[in-house]
Amino acid sequence: MNYPCQDCSQCLEAPAKVNLTLDILGKRTDGYHELATVMHQINLVDRINLKRGGTELRVSSNSALIPVDEENLAYKAAQLIFEKFAVREGLQIYIEKNIPVGAGLAGGSTDAATVLYGINHLFGLGMGLETLLDLGARIGSDVPFCLLGGTALACGRGEILTPLTEGPPLHMVLVKPDFQISTREVYQAFRLEKVNKSPDNPAFLAAWRNYDIINVAQEMNNVLETVSIEEHPEIALIKQQLLASGALNALMSGSGPTVFGLYASLEEAGRAFKNMQDKYKEAFLVSSYRRSERHDG
Ligand code: C5P
């Protein structure tokens, strides 16, 4: 996941995720919701540069949309490790932001996961995956999945992970409408009784194992659409447009507002992308993120 480059100690890719299914089984006593969700990494990536030196922990970014103080999950991740290992040295974290912010794509979580992973290597701390996952869960519910990568069924708050086999390569068009959504507010407004049809995760997983893209598409379902679409009807409109452009199915990712269309081939996704690009400022043509195709080594 890392490679040395000329002007920084470590450059890392931090991939976004989409939720192919998202079911909520109930509310927990700790205020969180019990989930059963299939998460899938895509090749829309932030790039993180980590540079040792100085006396301070510093975050900077090409994006004015993210905080660079303790509010930033990547900052929190570094702070957590530095406290755990009593690190006295400084660290500069640069985040090249390409993943839309407040979009349901785990942009902040993947940056944090990558910083945990990167610091572990850069400072030779020797933490194993279990320890990293544990630290990740303390930062945010999506961080453990971002550390694990690939495709996984996530239960509990999102931290109980079952990795899935690689599955069929997916080709998608992502559309992020021109507003952000607060994950917390969406979960707070969620009402189980408003859900007509919950995801059938066993059926989804069977289709996944069989490389059956038609049924993978068919079984895509996200119960949080009941909240986000009611508040932002534009999400339903984007779904319709993606379907009209040839998508096998279209779904909101996470708590939204990003919607993705899944296509039978890269060519079909490419054609739809051209169409959506004319309508939306933030449209992306993406595919599954394959570890073997990583550009950071
Ligand atoms: O864990 P994280 O801080 O990313 O979650 C953001 C918010 O989303 C939480 O404060 C909570 O309101 C909501 N959430 C939830 N149940 C989950 C995950 C997140 O209610 N399983």
Query: Given phi > 0 = left and psi -120 to 50 = alpha, else beta, which region is 204?
Result: alpha
pLDDT-derived band of residue 102, with 50, 70 and 90 as boundaries?
very high
Tell me: pLDDT of 265 over 70.
Answer: yes
> Which of 187, 190, 223, 228 should be mutated for ligand 1, with most atoms under 8 A from CB?
187
Query: Of ligand 1's atoms, which has the minimum distance to the CA of residue 24?
Result: 21
Q: Which amino acid is at 166?
A: E
- Give the pLDDT of residue 6: 43
- Give the pLDDT of residue 293: 67
Q: SS3 letters for 134-186?
A: HHHHHHCCCHHHHHHCCEEEEEECCCEEEECCCCCCCEEEEECCCCCCCHHHH
Q: What is the per-residue pLDDT across 49-75, written as a single tens digit (0 to 9) for each? A: 999 999 999 999 999 999 999 999 999
Enter the pTM of the model. Answer: 0.96
Q: Is the CB of 183 under 6 A from ligand 1?
A: yes
- Give the pLDDT of residue 297: 41
- Give the pLDDT of residue 295: 62
> Which of 23, 32, 153 should be mutated for ligand 1, with most atoms under 8 A from CB?
32
Q: Is the CB of 33 under 6 A from ligand 1?
A: yes
- Rg (C-alpha) for the chain, rounded Å, is 19
Instruction: Say whether 17 is catalytic.
Output: yes
Q: Would you say 137 and 157 are in contact if contact means Cβ atoms under 8 Å apart?
A: yes
Q: Is the CB of 107 under 6 A from ligand 1?
A: no
- Give the pLDDT of residue 44: 98
CB atoms within 10 A of CB 89: 12
Q: Is the CB of 32 under 6 A from ligand 1?
A: yes
| Rounded percentage of the chain residues whose pLDDT exceeds 90 | 94
Structure token digits, residue 181: 């959504």
Q: How far is the CA of 84 from the centre of ligand 1 (A)?
A: 24
Tell me: pLDDT of 198 over 60.
Answer: yes
- Please name the residue ranges forming H helices in 33-159: 73-84, 107-122, 129-139, 143-148
> Which of 76, 183, 186, 224 should be mutated for ligand 1, with most atoms under 8 A from CB?
183
- Give the pLDDT of residue 291: 74
Instruction: Name the average pLDDT for the chain.
Output: 95
- Give the pLDDT of residue 296: 63
Tell me: pLDDT of 134 over 60.
Answer: yes
Tell me: pLDDT of 167 over 70.
Answer: yes
- Give the pLDDT of residue 278: 95
pLDDT-derived band of residue 219, with 50, 70 and 90 as boundaries?
very high
Q: How far is the CA of 183 from the centre of ligand 1 (A)?
A: 7
Tell me: pLDDT of 294 over 70.
Answer: no
pLDDT-derived band of residue 98, with 50, 70 and 90 as boundaries?
very high
Tell me how far apart the alpha carbons of residues 187 and 227 are, in angstroms, rounded to a whole number.
8
- Give the pLDDT of residue 7: 45
Tell me: pLDDT of 152 over 70.
Answer: yes
